[in-house]
Structure 1
Amino acid sequence: MNLLFATDVLVPDGDEARERAQDELSRAEYQAATPTWFDRLAADVAEWFFGLFRGDGAGAVAPVAVTIIVIIIVAALLVALAIWGRPRASRSVRRRAELLGEQDDRTAAQLRAEAERRAKAHDWDGAVVLRFRALARSLIERDVIEPAPGATAQAIAREASVAFPGFGDRLHSAATAFDAVRYLDRPSDATAYRVLAETDDDVRATTPTDAATPAVPA
């Protein structure tokens, strides 16, 4: 009798067991594990998407849907390529890049203006250095050359000569004038600056094609 009485006390009836289960499930750790509406939505979307690649229950719809999705993606990529073309570093980034041993974010136009100011002040050394920098910067801005980091003046002249074959000798002379002042400490003069400036102006006015064969100034 005692054992039966103890058993009746320890074992809850149906209603009490249900209440205890509800109380247990209402605890925070159980609520935190319950899927949210976003979890259920994400699961439904994933199930729909992966169902496109299965033929179960979809008949001929699944292959058609997959084909349409692939066509849309490929078309979007082609349109993006047609509009924006090959990805390039922005011009502002290229202007900030190291050029001929210095960090200088000025545009070609700004460098030319400063070179002219130096020339008017008879600072021929500074004018020659700045004008060749302007020439190199202009070629970069026009996407004619893409010099490697640390490229020398002669390397830039050789790369530019590929796009302007008729200017090969003049570009080489311009790079030589730059090197003479910048690295050999040789003084420049008005004639050297005038020749370099004319080369810069002529290159700027010429389309980079193999047909470009400008006249060499006297």
Structure 2
Amino acid sequence: MTGAGGAWSGPFLGGIPVDPDAPTATAWLRDELAKPPYQAARPTWFDLVSKAFFDWFASLGVPSGAGLGPWVPLVVTLVVVAVVVVAVLVFGLPRWNRRSALQHEMFGRNDARSSDELRRAALSAASHKDWNLAISEMFRALARSLIERTVLFITPGTTAHNFADRAATAFPEERVSLRTAADLFDGVRYLNAEGTESGFLSLAALESALRTRTPTTREDPAPTAMR
């Protein structure tokens, strides 16, 4: 601020007004504007966005009265879009997130490994002649591969035999092999059966064959999510 003659009337030295140079005056002004009362009065990002939106909307020249009719669909559309954007920003994408979480649940275990990782784990177990683990991991690799290819989907509670029956819909020529694979998995996983090398090799051959085969059908994920 300046007094008569343009002298700065803010800071004083010994009661005598000081007439600062330009850089000093700028610094004093910046310090003054940084005080809480001035900062509180600054518009927020929401204020700026809202103002920009309404300025843009006003620039469209929306008519009033009887001429408003043709603009109603545009206004409704803009409102709906705004609501959807706010909902996504606040709540995220719960259905998609839920789908991702559901796919990690596989045959009674929370397992987020990819089909490649499961396949390597199965081969590693086989190299140590741990046929039970090798069979279990290879069956999971088979299931994960079909999930990754969106051939079918599983949810918590899906059993090996339920999976095999649904996979047989996509690969009807392998119906018997898929049922046998489910029997092998349930045997080593739940029935204390002893896995064998021949059982593992047959399962590994099935997994390899299905990996490169085109399914005859694909499941709709929406109904599956409700199972």
Aligned to 1:160: 167
TM-score between the two structures when normalised by the length of structure 2:
0.57
Q: Deviations over 1:94-136 (max 9, x none)?
A: 55x2211112221111010010011111111110011001111
Identity of aligned residues (%): 34
Aligned to 1:183: 190
Give the count of matched residue pairs. Answer: 159
The match for 1:139 among 146, 156, 159 is 146
Aligned to 1:170: 177
Distance 1:208 1:69 in 2: 46
C-alpha deviation, 1:55, in angstroms: 5.5
Consecutive unaligned residues in structure 2, runs of 5 or more: 1-42, 85-94, 218-227
Q: Which amino acid aligns with 1:104?
A: D
The match for 1:198 among 191, 196, 205 is 205
Aligned to 1:25: none
Q: Is the 8 A contact 2:106 2:155 kept in 1?
A: no
Structure 1 residues 171 and 137 mapped into 2: Cα distance closer, same or farther (>3 Å)?
same
Distance 2:151 2:79 in 1: 33
C-alpha deviation, 1:201, in angstroms: 0.8
Q: Deviations over 1:58-97 (max 9, x none)?
A: x43x12222445678999x9xxxxxxxxx745886455x2
C-alpha deviation, 1:170, in angstroms: 1.1
Distance 1:124 1:115 in 2: 9
Structure 1 residues 90 and 188 mapped into 2: Cα distance closer, same or farther (>3 Å)?
same
Q: Which amino acid aligns with 2:121?
A: E
* SS of equivalent to 2:205: helix
Is 1:129 paired with 2:136?
A: yes
Q: Is the 8 A contact 1:157 1:175 kept in 2?
A: yes
Q: Which amino acid aligns with 1:177?
A: L
Aligned to 2:28: none
TM-score between the two structures when normalised by the length of structure 1:
0.59
Q: Which amino acid aligns with 1:138?
A: S
Distance 1:181 1:119 in 2: 14
